[in-house]
Amino acid sequence: MIEDALIIIPAFNEAAVIEDTLAGVKKFAAHALVVNDGSGDDTARRASRAGAIVLSHAANLGYGATLKTGFTYALRHRQEPYLITFDADGQHDPSFLESLLSPLRKGAADYVIGSRFLAGPAPSTPVARKIGSRLFSLAASAVTGLKITDPTSGMLALTRNVAKVFASNLFPLDFPDADVLIMLSRMGYSICEAPVKMHPAKRPGSMHAGVLKPAYYICKMSVSMVHFALRRDLKALRREMENAG
Rule CB under 8 A: which residues touch another protein? 35, 53-59, 61, 65, 68-69, 72-73, 76-77, 169, 173
| Residues in Cβ contact with 194 at an 8 Å cutoff, skipping those fewer than 6 apart | 96, 99, 100, 102, 103, 112, 113, 114, 115, 118, 157
Q: From the CB of 113, what's the least distance to another protein, in Å?
A: 24
Query: Closer to another protein at the Cβ: 65 or 191?
Result: 65
**Element spanning 157, H or E:** strand 156-159
Question: By CB neighbour count within 10 A (0-12 exposed, 13-18 middle, 19+ buried), where does 20 fall?
Answer: middle
Q: How far is the CB of 62 from another protein (least distance, A)?
A: 9
To another protein, the closest distance from the beta carbon of 37 in angstroms equals 9
Q: Which is nearer to another protein, 72 or 222 (CB)?
A: 72
Residue nearer to another protein on the CB measure, 35 or 178: 35
Question: How far is CA 214 from each of CA 10, 131, 132, rounded to the nearest angstrom?
Answer: 21, 10, 8
**To the nearest whole angstrom, how small is the minimum distance from the Cβ of residue 162 to another protein?**
18
Nearer to another protein, 170 or 194 (CB): 170
Of 58 and 244, nearer to another protein (C-beta) is: 58
Cβ proximity of 207 and 125 under 8 Å: no
For 32, phi and psi rounded to 5 degrees?
A: -130, 135
In the complex, what is the shortest distance from the CB of residue 126 to another protein, in angstroms, rounded to a whole number? Answer: 28
Residue closer to another protein, measured from CB, 77 or 235 = 77
What angle (nearest 5°) sits at the alpha carbon of residue 179, between those of residues 77 and 38? Answer: 45
Residue type, 185: S
At closest approach, how far in Å is the CB of 47 from another protein?
12
CA–CA separation, 173 vs 220, rounded Å? 12
The strand pairing partners of 59, in sequence order, are none
Give the strand order in the sheet containing 29-36. Answer: 53-56, 29-36, 2-11, 82-85, 156-159, 111-115, 191-195
